[in-house]
Every structure is written in structure tokens, then in C-alpha cells.
Chain A
């Protein structure tokens, strides 16, 4: 595959125009960290955005940062941290997940984060990548430069194409400049760990806390073996609820007391302070307890369905995993050849949602639907939307190709 490294808008646009004229498929990537997500792309040329870098503007008082798509996530996060700000959607760093593929550690790009629509544990309280992309410029599959959105917080002028771009895996357009909303970083963060008999009990506790005025910024449910992998001592118990509280210190301590009251002192609860909390949630966001597995799934489902879905799948095959988003994000790692069948059938009968194959060898990704199959009318609509941006299917063809649900 011929590798192309655009570093100016003109060079990027010319490369797409050329591919369009020749009708050659292009693989689009940042630094390749997320190469292992989605169906393998069969293309003659690859546009790598690794040299398309640079933070164009950062205005802390306006809560806005503009960066070119290939800018490293690490660089963005370091700059924000210097002003006590952050990306509130807590994008995971997945390089640890795919180290064996061909990713260079810590090279994940901001374009990749938006393209894959990544979000971490704070998704449940603060929103996802889609909620922080204020605007962008991009080269469409028609080789045209277009823009959408802006750099202000509140904007309903025209269709919100930022939403479509987020999570489209480079199949609609190649992003040039990305404008993000950023937020102040919390002053302190504490984790409250509640050992419980099983994951159902843990989810109940997390649900109870999210239904209270505590304003938790994360709620995770782990079975005992994951707790161990995270070096959390939960004694003889079978699972644990992990709740994160962030904000100004006086408020965080007050809310931890509220949690203790909610638990009616019947349940033990131990705390992790700042440094340990940061490390713990980094590990959870990045899927670290499962990273050695060859096959990893992420399933988004209604939060209350999480434990029963997890149990239904584990009753049928050997898996490990945990629940984030207060139960609504099910992480599953397994080996079984028919794991995808089991997941899709159990998901349909346990609350519904969508399951994505986050990591697997190339063979499996070629032969099963990596993303949730769509009902036929929705599938047809989605295909028409794709054609509106990339009529000749030159951008990452088939990468996200959804199957039609039978």
C-alpha cells in the first residue's frame, strides 16, 4: 500500500482529488493506533495524517481549542492540563489495547479520537466526543473542502454535521481542523469503593447513587477477578461498585458523606484519593484489565440491563469483563469462536443497544459484523447519507460497513 503523508490542506485535498479521479480507494488513518477497530480496509493508498499536526488556537477563557487532525491527543491533554482544563469526555488511550497490532504508543491523534467517537467513564455525566466537537473543516469524498459548526458554545445554524463526523471512522470526509469545547479540570477526585455480593447488587448501588443528587462522574461495576487485577481488595465479596466524585474538595467530601448515608451504613465503603483515583479510572477507561485478550467487545445498553446481559453471556461462554457507565457499557473479553453470535442474541433479549467488536484478529473482523447490524430501512438511509459525502466510496471503504439485521 502506498503511504501518503499530507501536511498542508492543499496536499490533502490534492490527494483526495487524485484518488477520486482515479477512483482508487484510500485508507485513512492518524498514526494507526485504532487500526484494529472496524473491518480491514482494502486500499491501494493510505493517507496517514501523522504529519498533519499543530494546535492552531487555544483560548482557555473561551473554553475552545482548535487543532489539526493529526495532532497527538497527548499533546492536547498536556496543553490543557497546563491551564487546569481537560477534555471532559475523557477519551481513552487505546494504544495499550493494540500494542501488538502496529500502534506506536502514545501516538493516538485527536482526529482518531473524534473519528472513532471515543469516550471514557465520564461519558455518563459529561457526554461523549460528539458533545464536544463544536465544529470542523474537512475534505469530503468529493474532494471538496467544507465546514460545519463554529467555535461558539451554542449554535444551531444549519445541520449539526459535527455529530455525523464523530464516530464515522473517516468514511465521510477527512478532517482538517477540529474545534473542541474544553472544560475546567476538577480540583480533586475521589473514588468510593463498595464491595458487594455480586454485580447485580453493585449495579443497584451505582443506580441508587446516580438517582441521587450526588452528581457522581463515574460508576463502574467490577466482578472480583477484575477488582483483583486492579489491585482492589474487596475481601470475600464477589463484586464491587466503584463511584467517582469530582469537584472542589469541600463538595467532594460532602458528597462522599452523602454516599455513606445512602448506603445506610449497612455497606462498607473505602476511599481512594486523587493519585490512586486518577490511575484507577485511567485503567478502567482504557480497558486495561482486559487488554491482553485477543477479542474485546464494548456493548452499550440501558444501564439497568448491564448485569443481566453480562450474566446471560457468561452463562453461555467463558468471558471476563466489567460494566462502566453505571451499567450501560459492558466490556467483554472472550475467546469463543461464536462469541459474536452469543452477544448479538443475548443483547436482543436483554435490553437492546449496540455491540461493537473493539479488538480482534483481522480474520474475525473480516467475517463478522464489527458494528451492530441495522434494520433494513435504517441501513438504506445510512447508505444514502454516506453517499451524500463520499459518492464513489473512496474513503475507508467498508471500514464501518454495517450489516443488515435479519
Chain B
């Protein structure tokens, strides 16, 4: 892991670069002292810290466009940053790159109830959008755990999910339009308040592109009317395998809950000790199932869900009887990360996805890996969509512990891929999973993705060192090797 080694030629030009930036931006929008840049030296993947060359905090789109144009001309790298909550190192700075913070783009521009959408600047928080529309009975559906802090621009970059994406989708399913500034300094608008694109779906590919294709300067998202009823069910199981099966049984019965979460015993205990809301401390696994909609529907479906749970072997079922109780049920799950933080000096949060039916097999594998590495693991899952968040507990003060935890995490992700799953469900590749991309993609797949990058940023100036294990020069990627009538790669296996 880590970022590419800095270019000494760029470092030697630091003073000129800062002078260049100050010629385009007001002085207070350029930070270049070590003290002032300290707050920006890491994102949510805080084991990796790096002071950037400089930090810029532009206040309008024209400033961003001129900074980017200037950086392209001067071959200076840029790392965009929203709220810096990425768990995969998407906003980890580069020693020889400028950190471009969107923090000052913090205004909601328009609330359009007629078309049920909100137009906002990218630095507004995810929850800020819901707060702006909740008085009228609306909300913005994707709800990553960091929603109080994470920015909507960062959500676009990472295609963030949350506990309710089982029913309501990820960011990509809820965004209607963006304005981006390209590395060339061009301002491009894609989509708007209408649905879909009349041409290539560039909006779809920008979402989740981890800041490698453009800098998002405006976002249009759809908002939904709050459901009239939301109720949650807490279900305890003596066996995690039974709980895993119960999750599949609910979906097989044709029920798509708003959210269906699972915690294993270490996570249950840590959360219960932290929030005291009555989680069954002895249970091997706990499911939280939430249904929303008209109350008659919620009640009817909860009855079906309860039947399925009991049949699958549940030994405790509690139904929220009030809005406060529903919130309490969730509080332990939402506080799972800090709760685990209390029982271990450090932890690594992983983020693979597997087919739901592979959950029991994955749990067995995880506990054997835990023994192999001698490190404890607590599990929280978005079980409904097969998205795992194993929290690997370690102590960074113990020599070699971080490396061991990382190796453990990498093995978990490799196993996710082996089971037909993926490296990351919602946190992004960043620098964290970059070197594992080869587990999921072959060289041709990765080169094809990088050709897309070349269409946006042929010099690899925008957030380089993220996502791809190896950077190929665009000229090399564009080359075609054709022999008459024969395949370009006859020796490669077909699948």
C-alpha cells in the first residue's frame, strides 16, 4: 500500500507552484504552512498520512477551472477532497500534488419540490440535504454511516451506499445530474432535473470514479417522500449460519426490506456495552430488519418476516413499538465502529461484497483466518445485499500488527472474490484495495478501465496512485496490435 513516490522535480518547484496558485486565488484560499495543512494530511484511512504540496480552498467554479487548467499546463497533480471521510484513502494527499478541497462549496442552490430534486454544491453534507427538505416531508435516500459529516460530492466520487440501499439504491441510483470541471479546466454539465442521458451515460461512470475523472462542482439529486411508517425488528440467533440463511429466506419470499443488517457476537457485545439498548448479548448473530411504507403493509410484512425468522431458528424477536425504539434499535448498529474502537486500540474496516448465499461459508472462513492471524474480528454486515464490514482488531503500537491486520483483510477480500463477490461494496478502492485489483480483473480489464481514464485525463494528473495498481501511459494504452485476421492476444485464456 502507499502512494507513488514523489517527483523531485515538482518538489523543487514548490515555491513557484504556490506563487502560481496565489496568483489565481485569494491568499486565504491557499494553505502552504505545515501547521495549516495538518488537518488535510489524511482522510478516514488515517493509518496513511501525507502532507500535500499545498492545499487550495477555492470558492467558485471559475477558480477551480483556472487552478486545473494551470495544473495541467504545469503538470502538477491534484487530489480532490470533500469532507475527507473516505475509508479507502480516496483523498489521501500526494507529497507532490495539490489538495483541492471543496469545503467552501457548502450551499444548497435550489430545492425543487415540483420536480422532487435538490440542486446543491458538492461540499454540503449528505444529511444536510435531508435536513433541508425534511420539514416538507422529504429526504435523500442514501445514508452512509458517515452521513453527518460526508459531503455529497464525496458521495458521488465513491458511489456511497448505506443501510437503506437494499431498497433505495446507492448514490448512482439517486443522482440526476452533475457539473464537473475536467483536468483541462472545462466546465461540463451532465444530466439535470430530468431522467437519463440522451447520449453516453457519463454521469453513471463519473459516479464512483473516485475523483479520477473530474472535480464535481454541482450535484442534482432526487429526493423522496418519507414513508408514512418505519418499523424495525431485532432478531437474535444462536447460530450465525442460521441468521445468514434467514436473510436469504426473506428475499426468496419476495420481500425487499428497507434495510437488513447483521452483527456477529463480538460486534453485538461491543455495541450493547456502548449504547445499552437491549441487544441480546449472548446471541451469535443479530439481525435488524426494517420495513417502511403504509402501516398496513409494514405490519403485514413484519408478520411474514417474523414467521420466516422463527422458522430459520431465531430465538428472540423484538419489534419496535415506537419511533424512539426504532431509533434505539439502530443506534447500536450505527455506533458499531466507535463501539469496536473502545475494545481495541485500532481496527481496520473492510468492505467486500459476496452473494448472500455464501454468507455462512464466509463466516467459517473468517473465523479460521482470525485464528491463523491471531487477530480478533468483529463483523457488521449489510446482510440484505451481501456487503460485509469485518472490523479487524489490532494494536498499531505492536510491531507488525498493522501489517498482519492488512494481510488478514486482504485475505478476506480475496475470499470474497473467490466466492463470486467483489473487493469493495461501497467504500471504494482508493489506495487501500488498489493492489488487490488484479484479484478481480485481468490485465485487459484494467487497461480498458484506464483507457477511460485517458479520455478524461491523459496525463494522469487527477488523483493518481488511486484505484489502479499500475499506471500505464495513455499513448501505450491506445496502441493497437493487429495482425491480419488473428486475435490480438491468442495466448490469453477465454472465459
Give residues in B with beta carbon < 8 Å to A: 112-117, 137-138, 158-159, 161, 165-166, 169-170, 172-173, 182, 186-190, 192-205, 207-209, 225-228, 248, 251-252, 254-256, 293-294, 296-297, 300-301, 353-357, 382, 385-387, 420-429, 433, 437, 440-441, 444-446, 448-449, 451-456, 467, 478, 480, 482-489, 492, 494-495
| Chain A positions within 8 Å of B159 at CB level | 156, 160
How far does the alpha carbon of A145 sit from the alpha carbon of B201 in the complex, in Å? 21
Task: Determine the residue in chain A with the shortest Cβ distance to B492.
Answer: A145
| Chain B positions within 8 Å of A137 at CB level | 495
Docked-complex contact A254 and B296, CB < 8 angstroms: yes
Contact of A60 among B203, B252, B433 (CB under 8 A): B252
- Take A152-B386, A155-B353, A156-B159 as given contacts and tell me if A351 and B193 are in contact as well, using a CB distance cutoff of 8 Å: yes
How far does the alpha carbon of A382 sit from the alpha carbon of B385 in the complex, in Å? 33
Docked-complex contact A163 and B201, CB < 8 angstroms: yes
Docked-complex contact A213 and B227, CB < 8 angstroms: yes
| Chain B positions within 8 Å of A400 at CB level | 199
18 contacts between A and B (CB under 8 A): A61-B252, A130-B201, A131-B169, A146-B445, A154-B165, A154-B353, A158-B445, A167-B200, A213-B227, A302-B114, A303-B114, A328-B194, A354-B194, A354-B196, A375-B188, A385-B200, A387-B455, A402-B198
The answer, yes or no, to whether A222 is at the interface (CB within 8 Å) is: no
| Chain A positions within 8 Å of B353 at CB level | 150, 152-155
Give B20 Cβ to nearest chain A Cβ, in Å: 24
Docked-complex contact A247 and B297, CB < 8 angstroms: yes
Docked-complex contact A328 and B444, CB < 8 angstroms: no
Docked-complex contact B196 and A117, CB < 8 angstroms: yes
Docked-complex contact A168 and B200, CB < 8 angstroms: yes
Task: Determine the residue in chain B with the shortest Cβ distance to A61.
Answer: B252
The answer, yes or no, to whether A183 is at the interface (CB within 8 Å) is: yes
Q: Which 6 A-B pairs have the closest CB atoms?
A: A163-B204, A354-B198, A251-B297, A372-B198, A184-B254, A384-B455
Chain A CB within 10 Å, residue with most, of B137, B198, B445: B198
How far does the alpha carbon of A143 sit from the alpha carbon of B445 in the complex, in Å? 13
Docked-complex contact A354 and B197, CB < 8 angstroms: yes
Give B421 Cβ to nearest chain A Cβ, in Å: 5
How far does the alpha carbon of A124 sit from the alpha carbon of B297 in the complex, in Å? 21
Residues 140-170 of A, flagged 1 when their CB comes within 8 A of B and 0 if not, give 1011111110111111111111111011100
The answer, yes or no, to whether A210 is at the interface (CB within 8 Å) is: yes
| Chain A positions within 8 Å of B488 at CB level | 17, 142-144
Docked-complex contact B487 and A62, CB < 8 angstroms: no
Give residues in A with beta carbon < 8 Å to B: 9-10, 13-14, 17-18, 20-22, 59-64, 84-85, 117, 119, 123-124, 127-128, 130-131, 137, 140, 142-148, 150-164, 166-168, 183-185, 207, 210-213, 215, 247-248, 250-251, 254-255, 258, 300-304, 325, 328-329, 351-356, 371-372, 374-375, 377-378, 381-382, 384-389, 391-392, 400, 402
| Chain B positions within 8 Å of A61 at CB level | 248, 251-252, 356-357
- Take A144-B444, A144-B448 as given contacts and tell me if A151 and B420 are in contact as well, using a CB distance cutoff of 8 Å: yes
How far does the alpha carbon of A231 sit from the alpha carbon of B425 in the complex, in Å? 47
Give B252 Cβ to nearest chain A Cβ, in Å: 4
Docked-complex contact A163 and B205, CB < 8 angstroms: yes
| Chain A positions within 8 Å of B172 at CB level | 131, 160, 163
| Chain A positions within 8 Å of B355 at CB level | 59, 62, 64, 151-152
- Take A61-B252, A161-B449, A163-B201 as given contacts and tell me if A378 and B190 are in contact as well, using a CB distance cutoff of 8 Å: yes
Docked-complex contact A154 and B300, CB < 8 angstroms: no
Docked-complex contact B455 and A128, CB < 8 angstroms: no
Give B126 Cβ to nearest chain A Cβ, in Å: 16
Give A329 Cβ to nearest chain B Cβ, in Å: 8
Contact of A150 among B202, B421, B444 (CB under 8 A): B421
- Take A117-B201, A211-B225, A352-B192 as given contacts and tell me if A254 and B294 are in contact as well, using a CB distance cutoff of 8 Å: yes
| Chain B positions within 8 Å of A372 at CB level | 198-199
**A-B contact sample (7 more), CB < 8 A, given A147-B441, A167-B200, A353-B194:** A142-B480, A147-B445, A148-B445, A164-B205, A251-B300, A302-B117, A352-B193
Give A41 Cβ to nearest chain B Cβ, in Å: 17
Chain A CB within 10 Å, residue with most, of B256, B357, B422: B422
| Chain A positions within 8 Å of B456 at CB level | 381, 384
Docked-complex contact A160 and B198, CB < 8 angstroms: no
How far does the alpha carbon of A160 sit from the alpha carbon of B480 in the complex, in Å? 24
Docked-complex contact B200 and A382, CB < 8 angstroms: yes
How far does the alpha carbon of A148 sit from the alpha carbon of B440 in the complex, in Å? 10
Task: Determine the residue in chain A with the shortest Cβ distance to B420.
Answer: A151
Docked-complex contact B482 and A20, CB < 8 angstroms: yes
Docked-complex contact B356 and A159, CB < 8 angstroms: no
Give B87 Cβ to nearest chain A Cβ, in Å: 12
